[in-house]
Structure 1
Amino acid sequence: MSNDWQFEVPTTGSKHLPPDARYMEALSSQGYGFEVAIADLVDNSIDAGAKDVVIHFLRDGDQLVSLLVVDDGKGMTDEELDVAMTVGGRRNYDEDALGMFGTGLKSASLSHASAVTVVSTTKRTRAAGRRWLMERAISGFQCDIVAPDYAQSLIDRYAERPIIWQGTVVRWDAVKSFPKHGGGGQTDRYLQRTINKLGLHLGLYLHRFLARDDFNITIAVEDVRTGTVYLDFGVEPLDPFAYPVTGHTDYPRRFTANLPEVGDVVLDAHVWTPKSNRDEYKAVGSVMERQGFYFYRHNRLVQAGGWNNFRQPEQHLSLARVAVDLPDGRNDIFQLTVKKSGVEASPEFSSALEKAADPTGRGFLQYLIDADAVYRDARKRAGITRKPVLPPGKGIDPTVREVIVEELPPIPYEDGIEVRWQKLENGLFFEIARDERTIILNQHYRAAILGGRRGGLNDAPMLKSLMYVLLHKVFESEYAGPREKDNLQLWQSILVAAARAELDRVADDDR
């Protein structure tokens, strides 16, 4: 083996290699979730100094046609629009700006829509607009110029005082997740489900902004033909640290982790009240997912829970949440994802946590011990000694499985109870395959129970969870006695009647 290793790679020059037009297609395939994409657009509104942001779903009868995000920020000139619509367009971000990479507007929008139109006006310039149509973008980075008359009409649609109003409208068309056929109540069900998730997501990740008196986000639904407004409500802040009473009298407590590259990083450690039913604790994701670090960048939450390789999540730390404001500027310790939906922390951060302490010398590791003890003591005081059970298995949503295991101790080293769909006689709603530890649900009733939603391995989480709770003891007994057989027949009769009623309801909706 040669030992003439060169520590620097020699070069003989350089050449310009512009991106292929298909780069736009790759840019739109970064896995942006719907709520994450909308939050990225709202970030731009906040950077523009907006006081009010409206997320507007437009429908034509049963069909959803467009989605708009409207703000009353400072607006953009023609030249600023060109920069905003350029992939990676360079602009000078303010020190406290939420934007970073110059790709959010384009990648977030084109991940979910085949066309994105941006129309904007300032106090000193006329309305102007640009449109990215995916077909034209991937064929040569061709961005359309919006007709000035239409740009002004779209601005006027949302301006109470057109002469002095300023702001920006982002319009999505051909939104991929919109129901293709809105009949049978599909559009209403989609809106109810989507808007609920969106409101919770924005309420959580932008809670510090929403807590201010001068900033509001409104979600609305309007019929474009009749002008009927079906929904119009303000998003409420969802502060993940808004417990009424602390779970431990020594907390919250502030620890400091020293990282030479970025300086001192403050850790505000909290212990939630055990068994809380508040939305701030339970509404967004499972409590297992929400323990750990809450990273903020310029007051915008960019990660809600997780231990960033410092330790593994476990049920006894469900009450532990730590707020961390990221240091300004880019560094190698904390790397923010392009989607602003997570933080990659270097091993140096984990090492610093081992030594982190508060002003009295109490270590951060003691905080974890205290949070664990509060959880365990709460269960003891409540006299909760639940008998171990066979755990849930495949077919039940992972977040539900986590909660079941948290509440019901699993029998060690035993396989879980699977729940799956299969063809059965129509007179049966379920069967029990005792040897396979499987609850089989009748495929005949699946579509009606899902209400038009797509099926999958973990679909119908409510039904499957109830079936597990109802039937897990059957698998734990060695044989079925007369009382158990009678109960199974009772449940079978009731569930078949309920499933048939659901089928009749769907048939009535389709007529």
Structure 2
Amino acid sequence: MSAYKQSIPQADTLMGAMRSMGYSFEAAIADVIDNSISANCNVVKLYFPSEPTDSLVVGILDDGEGMSADVLFEAMRYGSTDSEFERQVNDLGRFGLGMKSASLSQCRVLTVVSLHEGQLSSYSWDFNCIQERKEWIVKELEQTEIKALPYIDSLLKFPHGTLVLWQDFDVLEKTSGGLVYDALVDLKDIVANNLALIFHNFLSARGKDNVKMYVNKGKIKPMDPFLESHPKTTTKKERSIAIRDSKGKERQIWVKPYILPFATDLNDEHRKLIGGIETLRIKQGFYVYRNKRLIIWGTWFGMKPRSELTKNARVRVDIPNSLDDIWSIDIKKQTASIPKQIQRQLRQTVIDAMDISVRKQTHRGRRENVDDIDYIWDRMEGRGKTFYYQINRENKVFQMVRERMSEEDYTLLEILLKEIEQNVPTQQIYIDKSNDAIRQEEPDNRLDEVYQLGVYMVSLAKSFGKKSIPEIVSDLMRTDPFCKYKVIEKKLLENYKDEIK
């Protein structure tokens, strides 16, 4: 007859393995804050050391409901909740591993203190002790030990709440060459920016749903990856898609596409809200939210490749935590995948958003298939759907200049133009355009420059005696650069009104 035998994992081996799950420092902080929000907090305060002392400690404090000693002891257990159980709608947890695995991926000593109904309780995981004793032993702190902990006075100012402390940063010790304090100083801003994006829905919420976050004394301001308040942001109608969870119950996800304005339409505040424009290209794609918390962003999930022309397209997807397994949400809550049963429906949403982004981008550049405009540059198609650019020799302005040149002069001009065409710095233009480093605004006197050029071109064409002044002006207004300045047409006609009569 078969028998069952208990097989308890080796404590130091398993904990050591889970410390190498791949959390980044900022992702680990966010995972701890998930617990704070699930505990209905309104304030989260992060404490980074302000001096390079021997005992460097990072603290994560919230004013949530707090936990009794028994509840806290259970919360410190690895796998304290079953991911298969249906959780509260505001629960941002997943496997009951987040706080422990995230914290100990960055430090060797994790201490949690909770204030509940006037009582303080605290437990601590010490990986040094686990390695020595090779047992799943969590330390319960006495009241005198609790009162001596860093940042404890800040917790005691709240009627209830929880304080998470990280100590002994062995990972940073290795990666920073021993400069742990300097590394923490650098991470402080990275963490603040990450939280401003991931939790922007909570930071910007009103009333009881609002959560305020601070790093030391600095308040974190929410980002807005969709610039919803900007008048030039293009939004499509939100729609819901029904999907069944793993238990067969129908759930709803919500999908809404956005196309951001051009970088030239953004002021400094708008640029801060989207986290800077230099990374627009890599931030395009889906933004998947789980209970309003951003899980993954900056990917099209393999549906379409990222490109420069689609960099302003973003699709927001909101899912409930009941679909975690369907979306393959991992322990770190940093990756997800689109369920097969809704891929086809989302694919069309992606195509539509990309098409709008491409149309908006190309509308800013040269318009295709406009027969009545003489552009200065011609876009020519070469082999294999590739393109090159050359000066339009049929351009009316070019022709006017050509007719005033001798054959010898024109030969020299052709040599120069061909060298210009062969040496267009397309790679550098692409780099500068990607970094939004190309000057878009025109000089203040540009309109006057074009007008003066128009006066000269009309006078030049008039000397040929082939066309009337209205015909000459009409031809010019269908030519670069005059077609961009319609007001010039009236001024040119007024300038020659006596001759027109």
TM-score, with length taken from structure 2: 0.65
Measured against aligned partners, the alpha-carbon deviations of 1:199-244 in whole angstroms (never above 9, x if no partner) come to 1100000001111354211111xxxxxxxxxxx2011101111255
**Alignment of 1:116 onto 2:100:** no
SS of equivalent residue, structure 1 residue 343: coil
**What residue identity is the alignment partner of 1:242?**
L
Kindly report the root-mean-square deviation, in angstroms, between the aligned alpha carbons of the 2 structures. 3.5
Instruction: Say whether residues 1:80 and 2:71 are aligned partners.
Output: yes
State the alpha-carbon separation in 2 of the partners of residues 23 and 144 from structure 1.
18
What is the match of residue 136 of structure 1? 129
Residue 177 to residue 243, structure 1, CA distance change in 2 (3 Å):
farther
Quick check: 1:296 aligned with 2:255?
Answer: no
The whole-number CA distance in structure 1 between the counterparts of 2:293 and 2:239 is: 21
The 2-side partners of 1:316 and 1:75 are apart by 49
**In structure 2, do the counterparts of structure 1 residues 83 and 406 end up closer, same or farther at CA, with 3 Å as the change threshold?**
same
Change (3 A) 1:305 1:131: same
Separation of aligned partners in 2, 1:60 and 1:179 = 16
Displacement, 1:41? 1.0
Pairwise CA distance, 1:264: 4.7
Q: In the alignment, residue 305 of structure 2 is paired with which amino acid? A: Q
Residue 274 (str. 1) matches residue 262 (str. 2): yes
In structure 1, what is the Cα distance between the partners aligned to 2:32 and 2:260?
A: 32
Shift in Å, 1:123: 1.5
Map of 1:6-405 to 2, 5 A cutoff?
14-21=4-11, 22-61=13-52, 65-90=56-81, 93-124=87-118, 126-138=119-131, 139-154=134-149, 156-159=152-155, 161=157, 165-176=159-170, 178=172, 190-213=183-206, 214-220=210-216, 232-242=217-227, 244-247=229-232, 251-259=235-243, 262-275=250-263, 276=266, 278-283=271-276, 286-330=279-323, 333-354=326-347, 365-380=351-366, 389=425
Q: What SS does the corresponding residue of 1:68 show, helix, strand or coil?
A: strand
Give the superposition deviation at 1:62: 5.8
Structure with greater proportional helix content: 2
Matched position secondary structure for 1:70: strand
Deviations 1:340-377 (A, max 9, x none): 11212233332222466xxxxxxx63332112211222
CA change 1:388–1:260 in 2 (3 A) is farther
Q: 1:86 to 1:183 in 2, by over 3 A?
A: closer
Cα displacement (A) at 1:403: 5.6
SS at match of 1:53: strand
Kept in 2: contact 1:64–1:178 (CA 8 A): no
Q: CA deviation at 1:300?
A: 0.7
| Matched letter for residue 355 of structure 2 | I
Quick check: 278-287 or 140-149, which moved more?
A: 278-287
| Preserved contact between residue 289 and residue 313 of structure 1 (Cα < 8 Å) | yes
Find the residue that maps to 1:329 and give its secondary structure: helix
SS for the counterpart of 1:253 is: coil
The SS at the match of 1:131 is: strand
Structure exhibiting the larger radius of gyration computed from Cα positions: 2
The number of equivalent residue pairs is 366
Distance 1:245 1:219, change over 3 A: closer
Q: How many Å apart are 1:13 and its aligned residue?
A: 6.3
In the superposition, relative to structure 1, how do residues 328 and 136 fare at CA in structure 2: closer, same or farther (>3 Å)? same
* Per-residue deviation, 1:336: 1.0
Q: Is the 8 A contact 1:337 1:344 kept in 2?
A: no
Please give the alpha-carbon distance, in whole angstroms, between the structure 2 residues aligned to 1:338 and 1:147. 32
Where does structure 1 lack aligned partners over 5 or more consecutive residues? 1-10, 221-231, 357-363, 393-400, 409-511
